[in-house]
Amino acid sequence: LVGEAIHDHKVTNPRSHITAIGCSKWGATKNRESLILKKSSVNQSSVHLSKKEKGQQDLEPNHTHFILLDDGTYYGYEMGDYRTRLVNEISKYNDTNVPVVTIVVEGGPDTLSTIYNDLCMGIPVVLIDGSGRVPNLFASFLNQTAAMVKRDEKNNNDSTIWEKIIDIENSEILREFFHRYEDEIRHGLKDISKGSKITEEKIDTLLKYFLFCLQPTIRRKIQIFSLDSDRDLDDTIFEAIIQAKKKKGLQTEAGLNREQLLQL
C-alpha cells in the first residue's frame, strides 16, 4: 500500500523526492546475500536469483531505504517488538515528536503481534477492513462489541476499571467480560493462521493480544477504514493521529488542523 502510494506520487510529481524507510527481517529477506557488497568486487551484476521460499519476502521496490533486523533466525516475519521500539525512538528524535501511525493491510498472526506491540507503545492503528484476515477479524469484533462496551461503561458503577489499561497478565478480567465472543474469536484466530505452524499455546497468546485490543482504553486508538467507503484513507489516518494526540493533551480548544499536525 505504501509502495503503491509512493509510486503514484512519483508518476504525478517526478521532481519530488520522498524518503521511505522499510523495516524487515534479515533472515526472511529473499536473496539477502546479494545485498552484501564485497570489497573485492565492484561489479555485482551477476547475482543468482533464487525462487522465493515459504517464509521469505521481497523488499518493496518503491522504498528508498531498508533497515534489516537480524535476530539470528531464518524465515517468518516475527520481529518481536524491535520494529515498534525503533519507530518509537525515531519519532522522538531531536524532540520533534513526529506523528506515527500503523496501517494494517491483511496479515496473519505476526501482524496481530505487531498491532499489540504498537498499541502498548501508544502508536495508533488504522485497519484496512476488506483487505483480509487480521483487519477483517478486528473490524468484525470491534463492531460486534461496540454496543456492549459502551453500555458497560455507562452502567458500571466502578467505571474506573475501564479508565485503566488491563494488561495481558490480567487477561482473566478481559476473558470474563468478552466470554460470549471467545470461542468465535478463537476460531477466527485459527482461520487467519492457516498455512502457519501454530500451536494451541500460540493461539492462547494471540487471544490475549486480541482481547487486550478490544478493551475501551485501547480500542480508542484503533480506526477502521473500509475499502467500500467513499471516505479518503488520509482522513482516517489523520483522525487516528488526532485521537493519539488528544490522549497526550496536545489537542487545543480550536482543534488541530493538518498543517499544525505536520509541524509537530
Helix, strand, coil % over all residues of the chain, rounded to 5: 50, 10, 40
Q: Which domain holds residue 236?
A: 81-262
Residue with cell 498491532: 115
Q: Where do the DSSP E strands lie in 62-172?
A: 65-69, 102-104, 125-129
Number of folded domains that form the chain: 2
CA–CA distance, 201 with 190 (Å, rounded to integer) = 12
User: In terms of domains, do 8 and 123 share one?
Assistant: no
User: In terms of domains, do 71 and 86 share one?
Assistant: no
Domain end residue (candidates: 32, 55, 77)? 77
Please give the pLDDT value at position 196. 81
pLDDT tens digits for the chain (264 residues)?
Answer: 677 878 887 888 888 888 888 888 888 888 777 777 765 555 555 555 566 566 667 788 888 888 888 888 877 767 778 889 888 888 887 777 778 999 999 999 999 999 999 999 999 999 999 999 999 999 999 999 998 888 776 776 555 566 788 999 999 999 999 999 999 999 999 999 998 888 999 999 999 999 999 999 999 999 999 999 888 988 999 999 888 777 554 444 344 555 555 544
User: In terms of domains, do 223 and 98 share one?
Assistant: yes
User: In terms of domains, do 126 and 223 share one?
Assistant: yes
Please give the pLDDT value at position 132. 93
User: In terms of domains, do 129 and 192 share one?
Assistant: yes
Please give the pLDDT value at position 74. 79
User: In terms of domains, do 102 and 203 share one?
Assistant: yes
User: In terms of domains, do 185 and 247 share one?
Assistant: yes
Please give the pLDDT value at position 48. 54
Burial class (CB in 10 A: 0-12, 13-18, 19+), 222: buried
Please give the pLDDT value at position 130. 94
User: In terms of domains, do 179 and 71 share one?
Assistant: no
Q: What angle do CA 77, 81, 85 make, to 5 degrees?
A: 125
Domain end residue (candidates: 77, 112, 132)? 77
CA–CA distance, 107 with 136 (Å, rounded to integer) = 10
